[in-house]
Amino acid sequence: MKKLIQELQRRNVIKSALAYLVFAWLITQVMAIIIPAFDLHTVLLKTAIVVLSIGFPLWLIFSWVYEITPDGIKKTVDVDPEVSIAPQTSNRLNYVIIAGLVIVIGLLIKSNLLPSASAENEPKAAAIEVESDKSIAVLAFADMSPEKDQEYFSDGISEEILNLLVKIPNLKVISRTSSFSYKGKDAKIKKIGEELHVNHVLEGSIRKSGNTFRITAQLIDVNTGAHIWSETYDRQMEDIFKIQDEIATKVTEQLKVSILGTSLTSKKVDPEAYNLLLKARKLSNQYSSISVKNAMKLVEESIAIDSTYAPSWAELSSLFYMSGFNFITMPMDEALREGKLAAQKAIDLDPNYVGGYLRLSKCELASWDFKSASQLIEKAKKLEPNNIYVIYAQSDFAKTIGKVDSAIALTLKMKDIDPLVDVTYDIGLYYWMKGKFGQAEESMIPYVFLYPNDINANHMMGEVQISLGHPEKALEYFEKVTEPFWQLYQKSKAVYAMGNTQEADALLKKLIADWGDVAWPNIADVYALRGEKDEAFKWLELAFDNRDASLLEILNYPSMKNLWGDSRWNTFINKLGLPKDHGFHMD
């Protein structure tokens, strides 16, 4: 044994081993710095460690078998001990080991004993980092079905899991709008985490065929890229809710989040009814009178199969509201009556379902019952205070009672909670209402770019262009609005602003003939823009008599400034029954 150790020393095997270990450690430290700096995959570091580990015994064998000589590398047995330079090599290895150890010790002292300048100067940032550890984004699960026709189903399951997680008070969950924005994009997990300010991402895939499905879910640590947890489920459709609950529960367990007092149990519903609801939501998001009409048929079919599922009734309420308010395909009083009944049914079935309160508050607000609407929003806020749809409801309430500055602040709060939530349309609308037309245009440009054929995008940008004095541009946007009422209403304003009075009169006459029995505040807006005060107040009074749902929003429009200073303005505002702290202009 003694002779073996002496031979190892003579051949510099021990010192070669030490030198290898020191520099292998240094290499891994350098890579640990470079890889995140250049957003490289962490598998590179793992590969390097494996390669260095395999190389270590090979290096030991090399050190035993070979020796470096002035004439090059030779086998040790072929080198005459009298001419061997092993002692000189030993001394050089001493210097190499010492230098390496000095660097190692320096790095250890810096990382463990000395606080960094950033840590001393930015204590708040450190606190945020710790807090964001309990944060997650649920990405849209990929549709892996053979025909790629089950996107509505994979999106729906992803959203249901998200809705379960959002119930947990001490867990930050990014909204559907932001997390689903990465669908179809080749974005790295680390980049997603940085943009959404979360430390964890849940992703997965769904393959559905007939009455069976396979769900694969995986929870990923954004900082390391490591898969904390993953699971594959092969089940029948009737087990879909159990799987949603299990995935949500597994996530909370892995993140060590307390769910005390929080139920992570999906409400059970007939699988076919649930499938129809998911299809309806997909159609509803297409936002057209036809898609909303077809979505309503699917929801009604879903409810006919199973009438005990609260989200189905809440969705039906939303579709009634859009039919009356957004697309005027049914009388508004009927839409609100049916919308309230459906929303109340959702609340009765599940008092802890936020969607029911938000839908009912929307209908109550449109009915000018400000107290009830406010109370319903507060109930929703108590259930899920950080739900951005609750904050949006607060913003919408503020706008409806004329407090546009508060609406802007609340909308920006949504952005703070959920960095990628798209509020460009809402901010553009609010700036336009405030008369900040340049800022409104800046906000609307990215929205129009992303949604060039969207009704709201073209409607709002057209309004902004009229206010900026560019009616020709406005007309280009209005031509893209395919819904008959909205195109006629807005063209009548753009053509008037262009100075084509005769054509504008004809368009306004047609607007009154076709829509004069429902579009009272919109017609008042056209007359106010034209400066015809008597006609404007006449149509405002008709809107008041019919308790028109859109009147309160239109009272925020820039055209209404033409009515300020008229004694009839204050009289009209005072009789609306608004809260005392409303924000509408008073002379």
Q: Give pLDDT tens digits for 446-456.
A: 999 988 998 99
Average the pLDDT over 238-249 and give the result. Answer: 85
- Residue whose token pair is 């039906």: 316
254 & 211 share domain: yes
> Residues 6 or more apart from 404 whose CB is under 8 A from it?
398, 430, 433, 434, 556, 583
- The CATH number linked to 327 is 1.25.40.10
What's the rounded Cα separation, in Å, for the pair 91 and 519?
95
Residue 132: pLDDT band (50, 70, 90) is very low
Chain position carrying tokens 């405030």: 434
pTM of the model: 0.66
Boundary-marking domain end, from 345, 379, 413: 379
pLDDT at 262 > cutoff 90: no
In-domain check, residue 371: yes
Identify the pLDDT of residue 335: 95
What pLDDT score does 38 carry?
53
Q: Are residues 234 and 280 in the same domain?
A: no
**Least confident residue range of 251-265, 396-410, 424-438:** 251-265
Banded model confidence at residue 82, pLDDT cuts 50, 70, 90: low
Instruction: For residue 585, give the amino acid letter.
Output: H
Q: Which two tokens stand for residue 402?
A: 């004329």
Average pLDDT of span 374-387: 93
Mean pLDDT over 282-286 rounds to 90
pLDDT at 109: 62
Which of 49-58, 114-123, 184-193, 412-421 is the least confident region?
Answer: 114-123
Q: What is the pLDDT of residue 186?
A: 81
106 shares its domain with 143 = no
Query: Length of the chain in residues, anyone?
Result: 587
H-run or E-run covering 219: strand 212-221
- Condensed to tens digits (0 to 9), the pLDDT of residues 179-226 reads 888 888 888 899 999 998 899 999 999 988 778 888 999 999 998 888
Q: Mean pLDDT, to the nearest integer, of 356-361?
A: 97
pLDDT of residue 263: 59
pLDDT at 538 exceeding the cut of 60: yes
With 60 as the cut, is the pLDDT of residue 126 above it?
no
Average pLDDT (517-540) is 97
CA 536 to chain centre: 41
294 and 362: one domain? yes
Which ranges of 331-387 would DSSP assign to H, the alpha helix? Answer: 332-349, 354-366, 370-383
Q: Specify whether 311 is located in the same domain as 221.
A: no
Q: What is the pLDDT of residue 29?
A: 76
Residue 565 lies in a domain: no
- Do both 276 and 345 map to the same domain? yes
Structure tokens at 95: 């210097």
3-state SS string for 5-56: HHHHHHCCHHHHHHHHHHHHHHHHHHHHHHHHHCCCCCHHHHHHHHHHHHHH
Question: What's the pLDDT score for residue 528?
Answer: 98
pLDDT digit string, tens, across residues 311-350: 999 999 999 999 998 888 999 899 999 999 999 999 999 9
pLDDT at 114 (0 to 100): 45
Per DSSP bridges, beta strands 66-69 and 72-75 are: antiparallel
- Look at residue 124 in the predicted model and tell me its pLDDT: 33
Give the confidence band of 107 by pLDDT, cuts at 50, 70, 90. low
Contact criterion met (CB below 8 Å) for 557 and 433? yes
Number of domains composing the chain? 3
pLDDT of residue 385: 85
pLDDT for 117 equals: 36
Average pLDDT over residues 295-323: 96
Average pLDDT over residues 26-39: 66
What is the pLDDT, as a whole number, of residue 410?
Answer: 95
Domain termination site, one of 53, 86, 112: 112
Range with the poorest average pLDDT among 15-24, 434-443, 492-501 = 15-24
**What does the angle CA 292 – CA 293 – CA 299 come to, to the nearest 5 degrees?**
85
Q: How far is it, in rounded angstroms, from Cα 576 to Cα 543? A: 11
Instruction: Flag whether 439 is in a domain.
Output: no
Give the per-residue pLDDT at 139.
94
Domain span including residue 20: 2-112
What rounded mean pLDDT belongs to the chain?
Answer: 86
Q: How far apart are CA 107 and CA 157, in angstroms?
A: 48
Alpha carbon distance 247, 202 (integer Å): 10
Same domain, 52 and 104: yes
Q: Which residue has the tokens 């609010």?
A: 430
